[in-house]
């Protein structure tokens, strides 16, 4: 269970990423077919620093479902530190890297490699769904990051690691929760302003009416 993080924020990020992947699957029938072949696969990704557990589940209809909580038996579980995952993410050949890396794999690695190959091939549009759930600033920042992660091999893992750590520390560590609250506060601020303005306008109007009557 992810106890360090606000479930609402993790859910927001996963929901956005899932939306982006599923949307680009719609535009890429070949990848969608490959993914359908993997249906029933439950991949657990367990990162120990920062402590975070994520499940990628291929549904019967070939959609990818990302969640921070699942009780389904896992087909394969990958364990490691953030830097191990990032090395993998920026590797030229994910399959080879996976085998040679420090990541611990429990279960059958075949569906993991297959899943990776599919997602790595795709160019999901991360931006729109992320902005939708996280608001402009955080959404954009995270979209950039995801874009880099999935442009395998083209980003130096050093800079990626730094950016991702920053994001996780600033946006993901959540007491108080950052990303979605910021959005929430902005909404409130705007509303308070609007309401205040409306109130004073009404007062002025009422005043004018009073004066005219007299």
Partner 1 sequence: MTDKTNAESGETTHFGFETVNKNQKESLVRGVFDSVASRYDVMNDLMSAGIHRLWKRFTIELSAVRPGQTVLDIAGGTGDLAAKFSHLVGDDGQVLLADINDSMLKVGRDRLLDSGAVGNLHMVQCDAQMLPFPDASIDCITIAFGLRNVTDKDMALRSMERILKPGGRLLVLEFSKPVNPVLEKIYDTYSFRILPMMGQLIANDADSYRYLAESIRKHPDQETLLGMMEDAGLVNCEYHNMTGGIVAVHRGIKA
Residues 6+ apart with CB under 8 A from 140: 127, 130, 131
Cα separation, 146 vs 139, in Å, equals 10
Helix ranges, the chain (H): 7-26, 29-37, 82-89, 94-100, 109-121, 127-134, 136-150, 157-167, 179-213
Give the residue from 67, 183, 64, 185 showing the smallest Cα distance to 133: 183
Task: Give Rg (Cα) of the chain.
Answer: 22
Cβ 74 to partner 1, closest distance in Å? 14
Strand partners, 42: 57
Cα separation, 168 vs 88, in Å, equals 18
> Helix, strand or coil for residue 177?
coil
Q: Which is nearer to partner 1, 42 or 91 (CB)?
A: 42
Cβ 129 to partner 1, closest distance in Å? 12
Cβ 96 to partner 1, closest distance in Å? 34
> Would you say how long the chain is, in residues?
214
Cβ 125 to partner 1, closest distance in Å? 20
Cβ 35 to partner 1, closest distance in Å? 19
Q: Which is nearer to partner 1, 93 or 136 (CB)?
A: 136
Q: Which is nearer to partner 1, 74 or 122 (CB)?
A: 74
Q: Which is nearer to partner 1, 67 or 157 (CB)?
A: 67
Q: Which is nearer to partner 1, 11 or 165 (CB)?
A: 11
Under the rule (CB under 8 A), what is the footprint of partner 1?
6-8, 11-12, 15, 67-72, 133, 175-177, 180-181, 183-185, 187-188, 191-192, 195
Q: Which is nearer to partner 1, 16 or 88 (CB)?
A: 16
Cβ 38 to partner 1, closest distance in Å? 19
């Amino acid at each position: 269970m992810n106890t360090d993080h606000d479930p609402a924020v993790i859910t927001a990020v996963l929901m956005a990423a899932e939306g982006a992947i599923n949307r680009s699957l719609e535009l890429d029938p070949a990848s969608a077919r490959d993914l359908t072949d993997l249906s029933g696969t439950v991949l657990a990704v367990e990162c120990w620093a920062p402590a975070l557990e994520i499940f990628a589940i291929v549904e019967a209809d070939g959609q990818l479902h990302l969640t921070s909580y699942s009780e389904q038996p896992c087909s394969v579980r990958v364990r490691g530190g953030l830097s191990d995952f990032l090395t993998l993410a920026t590797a030229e050949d994910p399959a080879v890297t996976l085998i040679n890396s420090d990541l611990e794999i429990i279960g059958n690695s075949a569906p993991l490699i297959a899943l990776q190959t599919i997602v790595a091939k795709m160019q999901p549009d991360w931006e729109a769904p992320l902005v939708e759930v996280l608001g402009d600033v955080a959404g954009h920042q995270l979209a950039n990051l995801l874009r880099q992660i999935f442009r395998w091999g083209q980003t130096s893992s050093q800079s990626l690691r730094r950016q991702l750590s920053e994001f996780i520390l600033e946006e993901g560590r959540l007491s108080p929760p950052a990303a979605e609250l910021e959005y929430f506060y902005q909404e409130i601020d705007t509303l308070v302003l609007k309401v205040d303005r409306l109130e004073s306008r009404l007062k002025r109007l009422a005043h004018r009416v009073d004066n005219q009557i007299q």
